[in-house]
Amino acid sequence: MSQDREINRRALLSGACALLALTGLGTIPASASNGVRKLRNGRLSVKLKSVPELSKVGGSVGIGDIKGDPVAITRTGKKSYVAFSLSCPHQKVTVSQEGNGWVCDAHGSEFEADGSLVLGPATKRLARVPIRISRGVAKVG
Ligand code: FES
C-alpha cells in the first residue's frame, strides 16, 4: 500500500470515529428514538407505548443522555419500569447492550437487563436514575 493511500485510509477512519463520537452513535448501540423527548431541564420524557423495546417485560433500551450520562429504561413488570445509568460503576466506561443484559467492553463486567450486577470487576449495579410514570409517560432524571 502506498504512503498516500495509507494516510487517506487513516484520515477516513479518524473522521468516521469523530463523527460517531459527535453523534453519540458510538456510545449506545441500542437506543430508542421514537417517543423520547429531551425536556428543558435536561431530563427525558419517554412515551412508553412508542418504544417497541419496552412492549414486553424484560425489554430494555438506551433512551439518551441526561447531563452527559447515557441512560436506559427496562420494563420490569406489567406496569413497572426502572431507569439507570449506562456508565459502568468500575471506571465509567459506557456499557453496551448484549443479549438480555449489558456488558462493559473495558474489563468485562456484566449486568442484568435491569442493571443488577452479574459479574465484576464492577462491585455494584448500574446506578439507578429517578423515574416517574404518569399516563403512560415516563419522566426520567
Ligand atoms: S470500566 Fe467497566 S469493567 Fe472496568
Query: pLDDT tens across 64-81, in order?
Result: 999 999 999 999 999 999
Q: Tell me the CA–centroid distance for residue 25 and ligand 1, in Å.
A: 20
CA distance 59 to 81: 10
Residue predicted with more confidence, 20 or 109: 109
For residues 111 and 125, is the Cβ–Cβ distance under 8 A?
yes
pLDDT tens for each residue of 5-39: 444 433 433 334 333 333 333 334 456 678 899 99
What is the atom index within ligand 1 of the atom nearest the CA of 92? 1
Q: What is the pLDDT of residues 35-52, one digit of tens each?
A: 899 999 999 999 999 999
DSSP state of 104: -
Q: How high is the pLDDT of residue 31?
A: 67
Centre of ligand 1 to C-alpha 80, Å, is 28
**What ranges do the domains of the chain cover?**
27-140
Q: Is the CB of 106 under 6 A from ligand 1?
A: yes
Tell me if 107 CB under 6 Å of ligand 1: yes
The secondary element (H helix, E strand) that includes residue 37 is: strand 36-38
User: Is 104 touching ligand 1 by the criterion CB < 6 Å?
Assistant: yes
**How far away, in angstroms, is 67 Cα from ligand 1 center?**
21
DSSP assignments along 56-88, one per residue: STT-EEEEEEETTEEEEEEE-SSS-EEEEE-B-
Q: Are 37 and 50 in contact (CB under 8 A)?
A: no
CATH class of 27-140: mainly beta
User: How far does the chain reach from its first CA to its final CA, in angstroms?
Assistant: 51
Grid cell, residue 126, equals 448500574
